[in-house]
Every structure is written in C-alpha cells, then in structure tokens.
Amino acid sequence: MKKHLPIAVSSVCSALLAVLLFNFFQKPKTVYIDRADGSAVFAKYGDEGSLSMDGQRTFLSSSPTDFIAAAEKVTSSVVNIRAMESSSYGWWGGSSHGSSSGSGVIISRDGYIVTNNHVIEDGNKYQVTMNDHREYEAKLIATDPYTDIALLKIEEKNLPAVVLGNSDSLRVGEWVLAVGNPFNLESTVTAGIVSAKGRSIDILEGEYTIESFIQTDAAVNPGNSGGALVNTNAELVGINTAIITRSGKYEGYSFAIPSNLVKKVIHDLREYGEVKRGLLGVKIGPVDDRIARELNLPSVEGVYISSVTTNGGADEAGLRSEDVVVGINGLKIRSIPELQEQVGRLHPGSIIKLEYIRDGKRHSANVTLKDKDMGSTIVVKSDDEQILAKLGFSLRELNPEERRKLRVAGVYVENIKVGGTIEKTEMDPGYIITKVGDIKVSSIQEVINELKKNRGSEVYLEGFYENYPGEYYYTFSIK
C-alpha cells in the first residue's frame, strides 16, 4: 500500500496540473449563430461532424421558443366581436340567443379588423370589444365567403395593429400561438406547433373556394374563430378558422387561413369591396397512384387537369386535359390546395410561369389569368386603377341578361369604400351609371376615360337603381 500511494498522489497532481495549464492557454470560445435565412442551425463546439445528441451542439429553431414577449405583444391586437341578431352557426361554435361571438385581429392603426365571414354573416350589427374593455360599433366593409374572410372598421386611431408575417416561411414543427376569445374568455393564449400545411377539409362552399389551411395542435375552441395565429416573433401567420371535432370542442386539430392569402383578400376588400380573382381556366383533380403510373409521372404529386376552359388562360397558353401541374413561378406544387392558394393570391391579368408534365416530359408555359365574371383578361392601367381607388368604388359591366332586362346600357356600382369620395355622396351599391356628365357610358373604361377628363373639376353621374323609380344624380370633385 505504501509502495502505491506515492504513485497515486503523483498521478492526481499531474492531472490537476494538466487541467490548469489547458485552461490557462485555451481561452473560452464564443459561438455566434447566423439565423438570417430563418433555417434551423446547429452550433458545434468542435470540428467533429457528428450530429448525435451528445450535448456537443445547440439547436435553434427559426424563432425563439419563449412565448412571453409574443403573447404580451399580440393580445392587445386581438378583439372580441359580437354579431347581433344572428343565429347559431353550428360547427363553428357560437350562440343561439340572438347573437354570436368570435374574435378579430386589428390589422391597421386606423381601425381595420379582419375576422372570419362565418363569425359575422348572420348579424347586422357588430360590437367590438378591445383587450382593455373599450367598446365600439363596427361597420362591415366587405366579405369573401370563398376564403371565409370578413373586413370590419371601427372609428379610432393609434390602435395596436398586429405585424403581418410571411406564412410561406412557416415550417412543420414550428411553434405558434393561437390568440382569441374562446367561450367568451378574454385574451386567451394557447401554444402548439404547425402540424401540416396546405390542408383542405371541405368546409367552404362555392366554385371559387380556397382551402389551404395551416393545421396546428394549438387549442382552438368556439369563440377563437377570427383570432390570430402568430409565430413566436409575434407576427401574424394565420387567422384561426375551424376545428375538426365530434364534441364541438377542441380535440387536437385546428386550422388557420395563411396570412399571405389573407393579405391579398383584405387588400381587395378594402380597395374594391370584393376579391379580384385570377383564374387559370381549368378543372382539376388530385393525382393518385393510378394517374401517376398512367401518365408516367416521377412521383405521386401535382394537380391533374381534367378539362380546359375554351379561351381561358390555360387554353391560350396551350395546356390540355391530362396535363399535370407541378410548379408555379418556381414553386413546387404537390396538391390542389397549394395550387389554389398560389393562384388565389393573384389578380386577373397576372402572368405566371406554369410548369407541367405531359407524356412523361416536363414543360413550361406563361399563362395569363382571366377574370371570373368577364371571362377575359382585365387589363387595368395603374392610373386607371388609382382613380377608382381614390374615389372609393368598384364597378362591373352589365351582363347581356341584365341589359335585356333593363333595356339600357350602363355600368354597375358593386361596392363603395367606407370614407371615400363616393360614399360621401350617399350613393348606394347597385347604382347603375348611364352618364358621366353629358356622355353616355356602357363600359368601365368609358367611365374611367370621362372621369380622367374631369380631373380637377366637379363631375356628376346620372343613373338609376333597378328597384326604384326615377333618375338619381351624384356630384363630386376629382382631385
């Protein structure tokens, strides 16, 4: 024992000396992580290439996983909306006692609020309650049932508007927060991850519906509809819309409209009173294993074209039935919801580069999107668009059936913007313009041309309402 003791003491002293010398010459390292591209980053403390979970690396998601700052920032931007004189709206949740309630998100400091169409569709009076309990009566600007979006307006300034984020940057597995008013519980925040993107659950009706939902497992209940889905940087990435449930309450599946689609819809509702949709002019279906084998596709992905509308954008670009769309503007298209969302963000007259597979070979074509009503491209010059936007109304031309029924040529006023020049004349939607000044008009372009001639002076419109006798005149100035 005495013989081995000196050896043990010597070994311990040598080890301690080695540690002291290493710490003296090897200074601590600081690791800087560049997160500019928003992607997952591994930070390693050595040169080893192993990605094993051995404590030698640090993982950072695309945004911090501290929810406190985001929750504090967003709750003031989410409001409670009560639609009066409405009835129960079933699967969406709500009340059957003369009113329904949901959530909304303040998107501008001057009072514009986005919510779901199903939250307000049965009401005719809308009460908005802020996070600080201030109450306002809101005016309905316009709705779009095809995406389940509605736009409201309250008269207030310097409101806490949410920051609109980029839903395309969301990744499956990323943390998100759902903020709303479930069961009338104010300013409730729940957390979850993005479970999937581009989901369609067949809840919207109509020929032009767009369902490309973000699926999350953040708890969403009746009353959350119209509320905010945000990332941990407090940026709006979606509007919470629906749940799949048998009980009527949250069971693990919630769905939100992507913010990039919301941006386009609310812009159109605000500027035109309706959504200006560009269409490919095709009927489509999913790609299954049988279609993939028959058409010699490299994978079971893409969107199958079952038929092409004559004189539509796709027809003019040379597409045919049994072509399979696999890309738009360089973005890979795997499913129908992805195609609908990308096209749904664009206006008539937009030109897209469409990639497709025919006879097992990849092709591309430039397709000009067409308008859903007129069946042709609406080419609106920027100056022309600005004059209508500044006056605050949107127009459409009378269809042949209306012309036969009314026995007149004219231009139909579809929507009127709140606070605009036209609204101040007390004109109502449904007005049919027959003259601008002394000049008869029968097309939108003719109306625009006459308005431009009268810039800087006063102009009057002559026309009528279908169900009211007599002529109506409205006078205003064009700056």
Q: List Cα–Cα distances, 392 to 202, 414, 418, in angstroms.
A: 35, 11, 8
Q: What gap in Å lies between CA 322 and CA 304, rounded to an integer?
A: 6
Percentage of the chain lying above the pLDDT 70 cut: 81
CB 176 within 8 A of CB 231: yes
Q: List Cα–Cα distances, 399 to 324, 378, 405, 410, 412, in angstroms.
A: 34, 15, 10, 10, 10
Three-state DSSP class for 345? coil
At residue 337, the pLDDT reads: 93
Q: Which of the 8 DSSP states describes residue 203? A: -
Given the residues 225, 254, 259, 335, select the one marked as catalytic: 225
Q: What gap in Å lies between CA 188 and CA 185, rounded to an integer?
A: 7
At residue 11, the pLDDT reads: 65
**Which of 56, 73, 75, 55 has its CA nearest to residue 64?**
73
At residue 276, the pLDDT reads: 86
Q: What gap in Å lies between CA 246 and CA 88, rounded to an integer?
A: 17
- The amino acid sitting at 29 is K
- Backbone phi, psi, residue 381, to 5°: -65, 145
At residue 51, the pLDDT reads: 30
Q: List Cα–Cα distances, 146 to 34, 256, 458, in angstroms.
A: 41, 14, 38
Domains defined along the chain, listed by start: 73-153 (2.40.10.10), 163-271 (2.40.10.10), 278-371 (2.30.42.10), 382-477 (2.30.42.10)
Say what the pTM is: 0.64
Given the residues 86, 101, 144, 148, select the one marked as catalytic: 148
* Known catalytic residue at 225: yes
Q: Which of the 8 DSSP states describes residue 418? A: T
Give CA angle at 367 (363, 372), nearest 5°.
Answer: 140
Summarised one tens digit per residue, pLDDT across range 200-211 is 988 887 778 899
How many residues appear in the chain? 479
Given the residues 62, 118, 167, 315, select the one marked as catalytic: 118
At residue 377, the pLDDT reads: 44
At residue 16, the pLDDT reads: 62
- Backbone phi, psi, residue 429, to 5°: -55, 145
At residue 323, the pLDDT reads: 95
CB 168 within 8 A of CB 147: no
Q: What gap in Å lies between CA 281 and CA 311, rounded to an integer?
A: 8
At residue 113, the pLDDT reads: 96
- The amino acid sitting at 289 is D
At residue 217, the pLDDT reads: 93
At residue 86, the pLDDT reads: 47
At residue 321, the pLDDT reads: 92
Q: What gap in Å lies between CA 345 and CA 327, rounded to an integer?
A: 15
Which parts of the chain sit beneath pLDDT 50? 28-62, 86-97, 374-381
In the structure encoding, which two tokens stand for residue 378, read together?
């609406």
At residue 3, the pLDDT reads: 56
Residue 381: how many CA atoms within 13 Å on its side-chain side? 8
How many CB atoms within 10 Å of residue 414?
A: 17
* Known catalytic residue at 148: yes
At residue 135, the pLDDT reads: 95
* Known catalytic residue at 371: no
